[in-house]
Structures are given as C-alpha cells and as structure tokens.
Amino acid sequence: MTGDKEIIAGCIKGRQAAQRQLFEKYSRLLLGICSRYAQDLEEAEDILQEGFVKIFLNIKDFKGDGSLMAWMRRIMVNTAITNYHKMRKHRYHDDLEEVSELKFEDHTWGEADFTGEELLKVIRQMPEGYRLVFGLYAMEGFKHREIAEILDIDENTSKSQYSRARRWLQERLIKLKEGEDTSR
C-alpha cells in the first residue's frame, strides 16, 4: 500500500483508486471511532459515510502539518456532533439540562474486566447526551469549555453531564460485572 502522501495526492486529484485506498486503509479504525458516538452500528455507519464524503470533498484542505488520521478523526467526531444536533432538534433536550454536580464513589477497574465489545455495547446504550459528552471529553480530549462550544451548552452543564455520564457508565459496568460473577 502506498504511503499517506501519495494517497492524499491522488485524492486531491479526485482519483478513485486513491480514494478507495484511503477508505480501505482507515475505514475500520474510523468506524470504531464513530461507534462510540452512535446508538448502533447503522447510525455509526451513517456517520462514517457522511464523514468520508466530507473527507474526500475537502482533502485538498488538509495541510499535512498534522497526521492524516487525526484530521479524519476530527471530521468523524464533527459529523457525530452534527448528527447529534440533528437528532436533538426533534426531541426535548432534557438530557443536557444544567443540574448540580453529583458526587459518585469512583470505582477502579482491571484491564481484564471487560472486552472492547462489551464496553462498546454499554456505551451504545448510554443516553445520547451522556455518550457525546463522555466521548468528547474522555476519548477526544476536549476541554469542557470546548465541549460547551461544540454542543451549544453551558460549560457547567458539560461538567455535570460528564459527571453523570461517567456515573451511569460505571454503574452499568458494575452491574454487568456482578451479573457475570454470579453466573455459573
């Protein structure tokens, strides 16, 4: 497989072979990323498709001064956020209301406690607002102020939502682990 530089050059020229190569090389990783922001595989693939279209239409704007993967990743996350906004329009958004921060006894985990699939499955069940805030903070490394910008919420809301999200996630995982421990 050719290096990223060649692939990018080909994509800028609109060459299908290069576009295909880019897709083959990165789609699996990118779909993994999209999955963390989606409720199920179908939604994740919608985000992936949308994101790839954006990538191909705008690849000439990739400066090359960062990694291609990071750039594409941002586009995917961005698309996921767009998708969220689109969804949010059609339901009342009480999942992102500002609430007082909750204290939660932090739990520690072992590496072997869960597989990636199990974690992803639980994340898919997260309420959408939680999932997004959690992903943006824990996985993408955005600060709460940035998340507030991205999601059009208050910075405090972002913090409290994050707190709630991690509590939700940990409670779910604790329950899952207990279920597995008692099964015979």
Partner 1 sequence: MNERMNIEELVRSKLEGQEIAPSRGTWSRILRRVRRGQFMRFDPGRFNVYYAAGILVAGAGLIALIQTGPREAQTEEGSPGRTPVPREHTAPPPAESGIIQVQPDTGDPSLREVAPPAAAEEGKPAAVSPEATEEAPGATPGNGTTGAKQPGIGREQALPEDADRKEPVHNTLVAFFTPSVTSGCAPLTVQFFNQSVNHLSVTWRVGTATPVTGENPEHTFTTPGRHHVTMTAMGEGGQTASFSQVIEVYPVPTADFIIEEGLPDSEGQPTYSLINCSTGAGSYQWNLLGEDKTELKGWSSDAFNPDLPVTPSERQASHIRLVAVNEYGCSQTAVRELPGPPDAGVPELIFPTAFSPSTTGPAGGLYSPHEKRNDVFHPLFDTEPLEYRLRIYSRRGVLVFESMDIYRGWDGYYLQERAAAGVYVWMAEGTWQSGEEFRMQGDVTLIWSDGR
> Which positions from 25 through 64 interact with partner 1, judged by CB under 8 A?
27-29, 31-32, 35-36, 39-42, 44-45, 48-49, 52-54, 56-58, 60-61, 63
The single residue among 25, 78, 156, 177 that binds partner 1, judged by CB under 8 A, is 78
Look up residue 52 and give its DSSP letter: H
In this complex, which beta carbon is closest to partner 1, that of residue 5 or of residue 20? Answer: 20
Label residue 176 exposed, middle or buried (CB < 10 Å: 0-12, 13-18, 19+): middle
Give the residue from 128, 42, 45 showing the smallest Cα distance to 81.
128
109 binds partner 1 (CB under 8 A): yes
103 binds partner 1 (CB under 8 A): no
Give the nearest distance from C-beta 100 to partner 1 in angstroms. 19
Q: Are the CB atoms for 125 and 67 separated by under 8 Å? A: no
Q: Residues with Cβ < 8 Å from 9, sequence gap 6 or more? A: 18
139 binds partner 1 (CB under 8 A): yes
9 binds partner 1 (CB under 8 A): no
